[in-house]
Chains A and B, each alone.
Chain A
């Protein structure tokens, strides 16, 4: 059972906007920044969003992140078929759970 809670699945049609939530606690999301990783089928995770809402070079601005309190969200606008992947949130945890904790991952299906 993962320390951060994500919905197991999400879906949307091409062109739509979808959001994926990540819920934590005061020891992780509540006091530290959140990173998001995209994992395409059969590949290693790739950094998608860091420091809550920053995009690494090369990541389209269709991807955005936000954080409020002990929860974070990843939004994908203008959904494309190549966005079909697993998405994982991660945060530093100040408790014995840490130091790094992940969500269980959300499988995004593009309908």
Chain B
């Protein structure tokens, strides 16, 4: 059973950088059949996939077009976790952020982190 544990600050000011981490237990971030995703949820936009990282002989990343210019998702093999970095946040980035595992479906989800962007 895979478990995902999220951590990171929940309050940011506009223009700051959002940074969240998702610690993995029960699987490996560098597993050849795994993919590690970030998804957010807000009342106005519902669930929105942001991006993913995965290892297939080398590391790959995919990002949603809507955030591609300001997002980074990085694996940390030493700690078996992966992270989300979203730059230049605005109030529109206020949402609950989830990490989730899976390539063709999202099998397991983190507990969610409410991130509020406000001056």
Q: Please list the residues of chain A having a beta carbon within 8 angstroms of any beta carbon in chain B.
A: 1-2, 33, 35, 37, 44-47, 50-51, 56, 88, 90, 92, 96-97, 99-105
With A44-B98, A96-B65 known to touch, is A102 a contact of B47 (CB < 8 Å)? Answer: yes
- Tell yes or no: B46 within 8 A of A by CB: yes
Q: How many residues of B are in contact with the other chain, CB < 8 A?
A: 17
Q: Please list the residues of chain B having a beta carbon within 8 angstroms of any beta carbon in chain A.
A: 37, 45-49, 62, 65, 98, 104-107, 109-112
Q: Quick one: closest A residue to B63, CB to CB?
A: A99
**A-B contacts, 9 listed (Cβ < 8 Å):** A2-B45, A44-B109, A45-B98, A45-B106, A47-B105, A50-B104, A102-B46, A103-B46, A105-B46
Complex contact B106–A35 (CB within 8 A): yes
From the candidates A35, A44, A96, name the one contacting B105 in the complex (CB within 8 A). A35
B52 to chain A, nearest CB (A): 8
Complex contact B109–A88 (CB within 8 A): no
Complex contact B46–A104 (CB within 8 A): yes
B83 to chain A, nearest CB (A): 18
Q: Which of B37, B49, B98 has the most CB of A within 10 A?
A: B49
Cα distance, A88 to B112, chains bound together (Å):
16
Measured between beta carbons, the chain B residues less than 8 angstroms from A101 are 49
From the candidates A33, A46, A92, A97, name the one contacting B109 in the complex (CB within 8 A). A46
List 19 extra interface pairs beyond A99-B49, A102-B48, CB under 8 A. A1-B45, A33-B104, A35-B106, A37-B106, A44-B109, A44-B110, A44-B112, A45-B47, A45-B106, A47-B107, A51-B104, A88-B47, A92-B104, A97-B65, A100-B49, A102-B49, A103-B46, A104-B46, A105-B46
